[in-house]
Chains A and B, each alone.
Chain A
Amino acid sequence: MNRVVFTILFLLAQAAGAQQFITIASTTSTEQSGLFRTILPAFTRATGVEARVVALGTGQALDVGRRGDADVVFVHDAAAERRFVAEGYGVERIEVMFNDFVVVGPASDPAGARGSDVAKALAAIAGARAPFVSRADNSGTHAAELRFWKAAGIGRPWGEWYRETGSGMGPTLNTASAMNGYALTDRSTWLSFRNRGELVVLVEGDQRLFNQYGVILVNPDRHPHVKKEAGQKFIDWIVSPEGQAAVAAYEIGGQQLFFPNARR
């Protein structure tokens, strides 16, 4: 084939390919729970758009959006999300689904944390100086954990008993399992986590443990290269009856992991 023709065809193919995918900066919980692996093929079938996900803590995911390195952010820290939109980095925050946080710990519960009051549980763990493993990664889960410590009247915990991993939910749960310590996790990651050792759910049911996920299109006015139409297609799909049904249908061991509640 003539080289010039080949080059033109190659560049055209690349340009076409570049329009066929979007980048979603999301959280480790949505990725590690397996949700995206299940629902994204349905999105691609419905729209012809491929979605590539990078799983980060919410804070990092929003920073990726601020740089314009993603087209959509899909995260779970409502306050940080509203700030992201208010600063002009995002177009609109749309709620998509929820799950809840739980505190896991050794079945023997040496700190006496078991119950339905997360603040009391954390106060008991700190009082006993029992090992607690924190993500400490500026994620949505980490932000929630810091709120719960504050509610427990502890401010910023520190000491040898408080281990900061600086990594995602999976590695943090692995560390908690290895140390037989306590940790805060979203329930979806917990349900898909296999290396539990002696860990069980000890604290659940507190209204403060509610965990809302939101989706935001990165603002194309600020970052003109954002794939506005393809990104909006993802948002429209995930809040549509089809997308919401796909979220609701995702189960592990017969348990639903995320609960759709889309509203603008």
Chain B
Amino acid sequence: MVEASIFPLEVRGVHVTLGTHHALKDVNLRVDALARTVVLGANGAGKSVLLRVLHGLIAPDAGTITWAGSTRRPAQQAMVFQRAVLLRRPALANIDYALAVNRVGRAERRQRAREAIERVGLGHVAQRQARVLSGGERQRLALARAWALRPRVLFLDEPTASLDPAASAEIERLVHEIHAAGTAIVMTTHHLGFARRQAETVVFLHEGRVTECTPADRFFGAPASAEAHAYLQEELP
């Protein structure tokens, strides 16, 4: 039996206010199947809020979010946060727990958890407590946990923040592999090298507004908005 598509993910006129702060203002964008979308913008631009809205963790004050034309949020999505949220249990059990919450049967859970942890190269620490793993290992474990759920779209909030170059490269390789296996990626990052290599489409946020939603080569070659131009100028060496 073939699952129905959950795409396109369409955001129309979304506003989000956090306290008195207008975090997102009239945001419109579209994510297609198998997309590689990178959300860029300065600190406080609303990138993380946007990802949380897309993942259903924050409800917009106004506007609509639809998946294949329906407002019902599909289950086939996962999110990895900047600081991996891990449970006080062994690494493998963290993956198993996520699968159990998603009602995957015990036998299949064991197989999928083992496959996922091997795939991110953490098979040797499967029984080690998740919270004693290094920063890079924790982020790889978070990716494995998300991957095991076989999401159709994966939201990644600054997945390489605070990681050393080797750990960042490993995360980048895994993100590439997850996409290559058929998962759409929507990611925020300040790592412009990673963004250039990963992005097919760039969404640029400035003070809560989308000022550009454009193919990546066009964005990095000649950003249309003054804000994006300034952002790239400041970030480039």
Binding site for B on A (CB under 8 A): 3, 7, 10-11, 13-14, 17-18, 23, 25, 28, 50, 52, 54-56, 60, 63-64, 66-70, 89, 166-168, 223, 225
3 nearest interchain CB pairs?
A: A69-B33, A66-B2, A54-B34
Question: Closest A-chain residue to B1, C-beta based?
Answer: A66
Whether A23 pairs with B34 at a CB distance below 8 angstroms is yes
B222 close to A (CB within 8 Å): no
B residues touching A (Cβ–Cβ < 8 Å)?
Answer: 2-5, 7-8, 13, 26, 28-30, 32-34, 115, 119, 152, 177, 179-182, 200, 210, 213-215
Q: How far is the CB of A185 from chain B (nearest CB, A)?
A: 17
Q: Which residues of A have CB within 8 Å of B32?
A: 18, 23
What is the bound-complex CA distance between A223 and B2, given in angstroms? Answer: 13
Report whether A14 and B182 are in contact in the complex, using a CB–CB cutoff of 8 Å.
Answer: no
> A7 touching B33 by the CB < 8 A rule?
no
**In angstroms, how far is the closest chain B Cβ from the Cβ of A230?**
13
- Complex: chain A residue closest to B180, CB-CB: A55
B2 and A50 contact, CB distance less than 8 A: no
B210 partner residues in chain A, CB cutoff 8 A: 10
Inter-chain contacts of A66 with B (CB < 8 A): 2
Is B28 within 8 A of A11, CB to CB?
A: yes
* 27 A-B pairs (CB sep. < 8 Å): A7-B28, A10-B28, A10-B213, A13-B213, A14-B29, A14-B213, A17-B213, A17-B214, A18-B30, A23-B32, A52-B200, A55-B180, A56-B180, A63-B2, A63-B182, A67-B2, A67-B3, A67-B4, A67-B5, A67-B33, A68-B5, A68-B33, A69-B5, A69-B33, A69-B34, A223-B5, A225-B8
Across-interface contacts of B152 in A (CB, < 8 A):
69
Q: Which residue on chain A has the smallest CB distance to residue B69?
A: A225
Q: CA A68 – CA B115 in complex, angstroms?
A: 27
Within the complex, what minimum Cβ distance (angstroms) separates A33 from chain B? 15
- Of B8, B30, B34, which is within 8 A of A52 by CB? B34
List 6 other contacts, CB 8 Å, given A52-B34, A69-B34.
A10-B213, A28-B180, A50-B215, A60-B181, A67-B4, A225-B8
B181, A56: Cβ atoms closer than 8 Å: yes
**In the bound complex, how far is the Cα of B30 from the Cα of A10, in angstroms?**
12
Bound form: Cα–Cα A28–B179 in Å: 12
